[in-house]
């Protein structure tokens, strides 16, 4: 299975970074924004997306870190690791503030 292969660092970095990282997180973000703009707010599904983002963030961070040595060029691996750590910090802050906003 591709998800476990990514977790184990056996996939090409480009596939994990662009497909499972950038594309998937963009689609989830667009879905979240679309639900937020709806009149009813789509609250239960939005909450599910926020909470599902936590394990996804952990998974993608570890997967990219482990697949970094598989990059076509060595510096791509380092850049992907740095970008993913920054993205994970951003995602963690986003999750915290979305949850704070939900309860305040």
35 Cβ contact list (under 8 Å, min separation 6): 41, 42, 45, 46, 49
Query: Residues, the chain, total?
Result: 104
Q: Write down the pTM of the prediction.
A: 0.86
Give the CA distances from residue 5 to residues 9, 60, 78, in Å, rounded to whole numbers and listed in that order: 6, 12, 20
Give tens-digit pLDDT for 8-28.
999 999 999 999 999 999 999
Give tens-digit pLDDT for 36-47.
888 665 678 888
Domain ranges of the chain: 2-103
């Amino acid at each position: 299975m591709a998800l476990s292969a990514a977790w184990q660092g056996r996939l090409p970095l480009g596939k994990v970074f662009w497909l499972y990282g950038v594309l998937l997180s963009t689609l989830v973000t667009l879905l979240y924004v679309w639900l937020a703009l709806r009149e009813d707010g789509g609250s239960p599904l939005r909450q599910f997306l926020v909470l599902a983002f936590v394990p996804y963030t952990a998974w993608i961070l570890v997967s990219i870190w482990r697949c970094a040595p598989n990059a076509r060029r060595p510096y791509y691996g380092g850049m992907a690791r740095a970008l993913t750590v920054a993205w994970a910090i951003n995602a963690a802050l986003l999750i915290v503030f979305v949850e704070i906003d939900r309860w305040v």
